[in-house]
Amino acid sequence: MATVKYSVPNISCNHCVHTIQSELSELAGVQAVQADKDSRVVTITFDQPATEETIKRLLAEINYPAVD
Ligand SMILES: [Cu+2]
């Protein structure tokens, strides 16, 4: 199990937070997702088969690309 934090500058409102949390939660292996509107940071706890790569790919696909 790993936890990562990504800066996601496109987060602008609670709708963004909801979208990110619901989309990422459906990715196999993701255990927990916390998106913060004020800091624009997404914290994700995950296990296999999810990887940083699949998480980042999904974020990019839904128009919330992560910045390292
Ligand atoms: Cu929004």
pLDDT in tens, 23-35: 999 999 999 999 9
How much distance in Å is there from the Cα of 37 to the middle of ligand 1?
9
Which pTM was predicted? 0.94
| The two three-digit tokens of residue 62, written as one number | 């839904």
CATH for the stretch 2-61: 3.30.70.100
State in Å: Cα 39 to ligand 1 middle. Answer: 13
The ranges of the chain with pLDDT < 50 are: none
Question: Which token pair is 2?
Answer: 């790993």
- What would the DSSP string read from start to end of 7-68? E-TT--SHHHHHHHHHHHHTSTTEEEEEEETTTTEEEEEE-TT--HHHHHHHHHHTT---B-
CB 47 within 8 A of CB 62: no
- Given this model, what pLDDT does residue 40 score? 98
Query: What pLDDT, on a 0 to 100 scale, did the predictor assign at position 58?
Result: 98
